[in-house]
């Protein structure tokens, strides 16, 4: 079975937890887009691991974890992640594979990301990890890839070319002193030595695995509404986070994909700027943020919180070909008197039942809600669907009814054990 896991909201849905759980039955786990802007949390025996680049299946012995060609790799961040894992006693040698075609994040990408943000009238709220500028260079055909890192002659030539143009831009447009060739060259040769053992042709490896009927899990980063095409542009990331990105970003044909599972929080969160129709008012926003510990896994920034928005998730189901949903963090809604599900937006007398891409509607549209009664019981212990409070079951059934999709996994806590597989 080849399964894509994709976020259906604005990221941080709990993909890391689902990937970790499903990885047990898989052979390969592949990241296909994004970079170290991602922060995927896995909690095992009260120990928390946050993955930025390394696939969240790495904690399971014997699983091959690939960083696909569609990912943009910051070698500094990757080395740090490898070292943290090794220090925790997790052996990755022979199990971590990095595509030779993946693009490298360079020091100037990170600085440019931050400088551009300061100049924007409408800030995106970028994580500042250099993601946008690196993908821009890839599309501009001046990017530097992992394979170039292995060849000092090519690396030197490409870095020289890039710095020639970029240093002028840094000086003239941003009044920045620019970057030294020698410093970057030396730093990256060190990364080359450190990372060369992991770099290979992952698309060949994965296609061989498909032929051998191995099981591959594709790990989406970010979420559908941060996707460069289908997200709330320009308040998005710079990659194809939707399920289609899995094929482009790994070199596996679409006809080899068996299933797409969507991950959604039982409510909605967003970190960074941009429209958020079902966002809570400030006091309740803070209440849920504290209750759900909604702080960014990468930057620590407070996440904005809101009601479950079925208009968004419905669009995500359509765009990604989702046949099953995992609903996460249901426990955070525990104890609320009333729950709301956003079913449409209204703007200037017009009703929007499907996702409107017009920023004016998204910014000013009034969300219309279906209200439901909450549940008072603690959700800490349920392990089976029938143990859930009846209003929690009604809430889930209502979501299924609106979205016309099956909820197959319900998460009621961050640990592996706090997971219900719905019959």
Active-site residues: which are they?
A: 12, 40
**226 is a site residue for Mg ion (CB under 5 A):** no
Residue 304 near residue 270, CB atoms below 8 Å: yes
Pick the closer one to ligand IMO by CB: 82 or 221: 221
Among 331, 340, 345, 403, binds ligand GDP (CB under 6 A): 331
Residue (316 or 412) nearer to ligand GDP, CB: 412
- Specify the residue for token string 């090519």: 154
Give the separation between CA 147 and CA 362, rounded to whole angstroms: 42
* Residue partners of 214: CB distance under 8 A and separation at least 6: 27, 28
132 lines the binding site for Mg ion (CB under 5 A): no
252 binds ligand IMO (CB under 6 A): no
Supply angle C-alpha 203, 206, 210, rounded to 5: 135
Residues 165 and 137 sit within 8 Å (Cβ to Cβ): no
80/156 with CB nearer ligand GDP: 80
Residue placing its CB nearer to Mg ion in the complex, 12 or 331 = 12
CB 166 within 8 A of CB 141: no
Selected binder of ligand GDP within 31, 52, 304, 329 (CB under 6 A): 329
Please state, in angstroms and rounded to a whole number, the distance separating the CA atoms of residues 69 and 102: 4
Burial label for 38, CB within 10 Å (0-12, 13-18, 19+), is buried
State yes or no: residue 414 binds ligand GDP (CB under 6 A): yes
Element (H, E) at 103: strand 103-104
Instruction: Pick from 22, 247, 297, 330 the residue near Mg ion by CB under 5 A.
Output: 297
Rounded to 10°, the helix 152-174/107-119 angle is 20
Q: Which stretch binds ligand GDP (CB under 6 A): 118-126, 152-160, 391-399, 410-418?
A: 410-418
Task: Tell me which of ligand IMO, Mg ion, ligand GDP, none is bound by residue 37, counting a contact when its beta carbon lies within the kind-specific cut-off of 5 to 8 angstroms.
Answer: ligand IMO
Query: Is 12 an interacting residue with respect to Mg ion (CB under 5 A)?
Result: yes
Picked from Mg ion, ligand IMO, ligand GDP, none, the partner binding residue 126 (CB below 5 to 8 A depending on kind) is ligand IMO
Q: Site residues for ligand GDP, window 74-133 (CB under 6 A)? A: none
- Contact window for ligand IMO (CB under 6 A) among 32-40, 89-97, 258-266, 285-293: 32-40
Percent of the chain that is helix, strand, coil (3-state, to 5)? 35, 20, 40
Question: What is d(CA 8, CA 149) in angstroms, rounded to the nearest whole number?
Answer: 35
Stretch that binds ligand IMO, among 20-28, 221-229, 307-315, 362-370 (CB under 6 A): 221-229
Q: Which residues pair with 407 in a beta bridge?
A: 325
- Given ligand IMO, Mg ion, ligand GDP, none, residue 199, with its beta carbon under 5 to 8 Å by kind, binds none
Contact set for ligand IMO, span 282-341 (CB under 6 A): 297
d(CA 391, CA 372): 8
By CB neighbour count within 10 A (0-12 exposed, 13-18 middle, 19+ buried), where does 359 fall?
middle
The verdict on whether omega for the bond into residue 234 sits within 30 degrees of 0, i.e. cis, is: yes
Nearer to ligand GDP, 23 or 100 (CB): 23
According to the binding rule CB under 6 A, does residue 99 interact with ligand IMO?
no
Contact code string over 363-402 relative to ligand GDP, x by CB under 6 A: ----------------------------------------
Within residues 290-309, the interface with ligand GDP by CB under 6 A covers: 297
**39 contacts Mg ion (rule: CB under 5 A):** yes
3-state SS class at 64: strand
Class of residue 408 by CB neighbours under 10 A (exposed 0-12, middle 13-18, buried 19+): middle
Count of residues of this chain found to bind ligand GDP when the rule CB under 6 A is applied: 21
Q: In angstroms, rounded to a whole number, what is the distance separating the alpha carbons of residues 224 and 240?
A: 8
Residues engaged in binding ligand IMO (CB under 6 A)? 7, 10-12, 37-40, 124-127, 129, 131-132, 221-223, 226, 237, 271-272, 297
Task: Give the footprint of ligand GDP on this chain (CB under 6 A).
Answer: 7, 11-17, 39-41, 43, 297, 328-329, 331-332, 411-414
């Amino acid at each position: 079975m080849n399964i894509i896991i994709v976020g259906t909201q604005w990221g941080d849905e709990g993909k890391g937890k689902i990937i970790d759980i499903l990885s047990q039955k898989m052979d390969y786990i592949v990241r296909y887009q994004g970079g170290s802007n991602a922060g995927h949390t896995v909690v095992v025996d009260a120990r928390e691991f946050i993955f930025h680049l390394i696939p969240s299946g790495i904690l399971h012995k014997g699983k091959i974890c690939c960083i696909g060609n569609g990912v943009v790799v910051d070698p500094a961040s990757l080395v740090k992640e490898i070292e943290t894992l090794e220090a925790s006693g997790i052996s990755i040698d022979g199990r971590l594979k990095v595509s030779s075609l993946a693009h490298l994040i360079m020091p100037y990408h990170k600085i440019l990301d931050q400088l551009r943000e300061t100049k924007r009238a409408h800030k995106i709220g970028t994580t500042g990890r250099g993601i946008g500028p690196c993908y821009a260079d890839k599309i501009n055909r001046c990017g530097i890839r992992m394979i170039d890192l292995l060849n000092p002659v090519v690396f030197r030539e490409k870095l020289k070319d890039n710095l020639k143009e970029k240093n002028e831009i840094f000086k003239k447009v941003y009044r920045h002193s620019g970057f030294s060739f020698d410093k970057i060259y030396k730093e990256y040769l060190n990364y080359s030595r450190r990372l060369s053992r992991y770099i290979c042709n992952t698309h060949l490896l994965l296609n061989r695995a498909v032929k051998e009927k191995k099981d591959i899990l594709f790990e989406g980063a970010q979420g559908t509404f941060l996707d460069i095409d289908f997200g709330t542009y320009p308040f998005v990331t710079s990659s194809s986070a939707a399920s289609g990105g899995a094929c482009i970003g790994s070199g596996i044909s679409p006809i080899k994909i068996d299933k797409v599972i969507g991950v959604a929080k039982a409510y909605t969160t967003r970190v960074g700027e941009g429209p958020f129709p079902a966002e809570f008012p400030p006091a309740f926003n803070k209440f849920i943020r504290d209750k759900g510990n909604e702080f960014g896994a990468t930057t620590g920034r407070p996440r904005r919180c809101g009601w479950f928005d079925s208009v968004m998730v419905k669009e995500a189901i359509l765009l990604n070909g989702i046949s099953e949903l995992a609903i996460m963090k249901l426990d955070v809604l525990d104890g609320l008197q009333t729950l709301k599900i956003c079913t449409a937006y209204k703007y200037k007398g017009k009703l929007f039942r499907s996702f409107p891409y017009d920023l004016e509607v998204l910014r000013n549209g009034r969300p219309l809600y279906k209200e439901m009664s909450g549940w008072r019981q603690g959700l800490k212990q349920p392990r089976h669907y029938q143990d859930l409070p009846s209003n929690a079951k009604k809430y889930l059934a209502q979501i299924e009814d609106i979205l016309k999709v099956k909820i197959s996994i319900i998460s009621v806590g961050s640990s592996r054990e706090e997971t219900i597989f719905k019959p």
